[in-house]
């Protein structure tokens, strides 16, 4: 089984998603397809990653994400307490636990202080983060209630919130986002043999 150290996660994800600036070195050899023939990987392709390695990577990423969300929940409860909320634990919810498609991870619902927080946790300071099309749409619709909190974790369930961005889709320029996955309709196969 692949054992990943905290600093290994993001380079492997970058390699998997094709970010050549941070990718791990790809092996020189191709894939054998029988009878001495081989298929050479295209230049700049990511290094091989087995199913087992990918599953371990996703589990580690999930653990790091949950740790970041937990930190944000504690921070948000403290913020509400400073605002005079008598029972902040009743107003801060981890939405991602019950609805991963909501478009944000944490809801802070105390009247007048509402926030819908998308948590982006990393183990590498200054690294890029990914937003899904759903997150972009939801955060855009939420406007001033939308926030992105950037958390740096050390891999031992310790970390800190290093940045908070209110109304992120108004502030993140389109030119600062790079598409890494494209949806292709099934109709492209129509008429193909």
Residue 44 has pLDDT above 90, yes or no: no
**Enclosing domain of residue 93:** 6-25+46-173
Residue 15 sits in a domain whose CATH number is: 3.40.1350
Please state, in angstroms and rounded to a whole number, the distance separating the CA atoms of residues 158 and 160: 7
Residue 20 has pLDDT above 60, yes or no: no
60 assigned to some structural domain: yes
Reported as a single tens digit per residue, the pLDDT across 49-99 is 899 999 999 998 888 999 999 999 999 999 999 999 999 999 999 999 999
Residue 43 has pLDDT above 80, yes or no: no
Please state, in angstroms and rounded to a whole number, the distance separating the CA atoms of residues 64 and 70: 10
Arithmetic mean of pLDDT, 118-135:
93
32 assigned to some structural domain: no
186 assigned to some structural domain: no
pLDDT band at 118 (very low <50, low <70, confident <90, very high): very high
Please state, in angstroms and rounded to a whole number, the distance separating the CA atoms of residues 90 and 43: 53
How far lies 178's CA from each of 25, 63, 182, in Å? 22, 26, 11
33 assigned to some structural domain: no
31 assigned to some structural domain: no
Give me the number of domains the chain comprises.
Answer: 1
Question: What is the residue-averaged pLDDT of the chain?
Answer: 82
Which two tokens mark 84? 């005079």
66 assigned to some structural domain: yes
Residue 41 has pLDDT above 80, yes or no: no
58 assigned to some structural domain: yes
């Amino acid at each position: 089984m692949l054992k990943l150290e905290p600093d290994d996660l993001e380079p492997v994800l970058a390699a998997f998603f094709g970010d050549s600036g941070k990718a791990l070195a790809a092996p020189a050899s191709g894939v054998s397809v029988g009878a001495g023939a081989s298929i050479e990987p295209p230049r700049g392709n990511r290094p091989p990653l087995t199913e087992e390695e990918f599953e371990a990577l996703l589990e580690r990423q999930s653990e790091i994400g949950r740790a970041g969300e937990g930190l944000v929940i504690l921070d948000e409860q403290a913020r509400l307490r400073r605002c005079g909320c008598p029972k902040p634990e009743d107003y801060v919810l981890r939405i991602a636990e019950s609805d991963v498609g909501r478009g944000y991870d944490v809801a802070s619902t105390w009247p007048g202080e509402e926030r819908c927080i998308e948590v982006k946790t990393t183990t590498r300071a200054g690294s890029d983060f990914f937003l899904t099309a759903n997150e972009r749409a939801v955060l855009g619709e939420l406007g001033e209630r939308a926030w992105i909190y950037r958390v740096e974790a050390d891999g031992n369930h310790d970390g800190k919130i290093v940045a908070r961005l209110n109304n992120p889709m108004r502030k993140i320029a389109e030119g600062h986002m790079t598409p890494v996955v494209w949806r292709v309709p099934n109709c492209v196969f129509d008429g193909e043999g």
